[in-house]
Amino acid sequence: MTATDAQPMLACHDIVFRRGPALVLDGVSLALAAGEVVALLGVNGAGKSTLLRILLGLLQPAAGHVTLHGRDLAAIARGQVATKVAYVPQVHVATFAYTVRQVVALGRVPHAGLGLKLGRADLDAIDAALVRLRIEHLAERSYTALSGGERQRVLLARALAQQATVLVMDEPLTGLDFGHQVRMLALLRELAGQGYAILHTSHMPEHALSGASRAVLLQQGRVIADGAPREIITAAAVNAFYDVDVQQVDVGLHRFFVADQP
């Protein structure tokens, strides 16, 4: 399913954003529909994180607007937005030594309120998220004592406990070992099959090829390609996009890139 086949759940339209005199985003449009895993690729400084913050309503663009289920995001109360859109940041260190269960429980704030008076539905959602991310054995561990990969899984569990069906994720594979990368990509595809709409940033073309239904290439603040990963992520595109020389290797349904030796 693509955003052209269904009503977008989250979309931005002709976004322009400036930071001082610098033009960070220049007329960016992007639509995300249920059933999609969209990988947003770009080099450092391309504007990926800025675009995510605009989609979340955390930054206001100089021009353009964002819609959530067809409504202008700016007109929707923040609490209501949080019941529909969940954000998974890059790994961070918590200020306080919360347990893993307490961090995941923060996903219930939009439903239970800041006092976190948790009912049976809240507790069930927390337990289900812990099990789904295979971290129930970490529930009583201090979040600050975890590895970077473990923290990343906790942050996704928090988003699942939130029960929002739009997931916006900033490099969700950061810190994960190979096995957990494979399982994370499989989980994202599974969630999309259940009706979630997922947008995540990545630096790795292979992650988009193996885990996404669409890839979007952002270069110098503009979308230069948007389509099926195998159609737009080729050796020629990688060579131009990342300014490296690579050879493309196709093995069955998989595609890899091998850098030429200097």
**Per-domain boundaries in the chain:** 1-83+171-262, 85-163
pLDDT at 262: 63
Quick one: pLDDT band at residue 5, thresholds 50, 70, 90?
low
Please give the full DSSP string across 56-115, using - where no structure is assigned: TTSS--SEEEEEETTEEGGGS-HHHHHTTEEEEPSP---SS--BHHHHHHGGGHHHHTTT
Quick one: pLDDT band at residue 54, thresholds 50, 70, 90?
very high
What is the DSSP-derived secondary structure letter of residue 184?
Answer: H
- Angstrom distance (rounded) from CA 239 to CA 217: 13
- Angstrom distance (rounded) from CA 107 to CA 81: 13
Biggest CA pair distance of the chain = 60
Average pLDDT value over all residues in the chain: 91
Write down how long the chain is: 262
pLDDT at 252: 86
Three-state SS for 250? strand
pLDDT at 2: 43
Question: Which residue(s) pair with 32 in the sheet?
Answer: 10
Tokens 């990688």 sit on residue? 238
Give the rounded percent of residues in the chain with a pLDDT score beyond 90.
76
Q: Minimal CA–CA distance to 127: which of 147, 91, 157?
A: 157
DSSP H or E run through 256: strand 254-259
Q: Collect all residues with Cβ–Cβ distance below 8 Å to 128 and sequence separation of at least 6.
A: 160, 161
First-residue to last-residue Cα distance in the chain = 41
Residue 4 above 70 pLDDT? no
Burial (CB count <10 Å: 0-12, 13-18, 19+), residue 251: exposed
DSSP H or E run through 161: helix 148-162
- Angstrom distance (rounded) from CA 56 to CA 125: 23
- Angstrom distance (rounded) from CA 135 to CA 111: 23
Residue 1 above 50 pLDDT? no
For 186, phi then psi, to 5°, come to -65, -40
Write the pLDDT tens digit of every residue in 78-99.
999 999 999 999 866 677 789 9
For 139, phi then psi, to 5°, come to -55, -40
Q: Which two tokens stand for residue 249?
A: 């290797």
Write the pLDDT tens digit of every residue in 216-245.
999 999 999 999 999 999 999 999 999 999
Write the pLDDT tens digit of every residue in 136-153.
999 999 999 998 888 889
Q: Which two tokens stand for residue 246?
A: 């690579």
| Check whether domain 1-83+171-262 has CATH 3.40.50.300, yes or no | yes
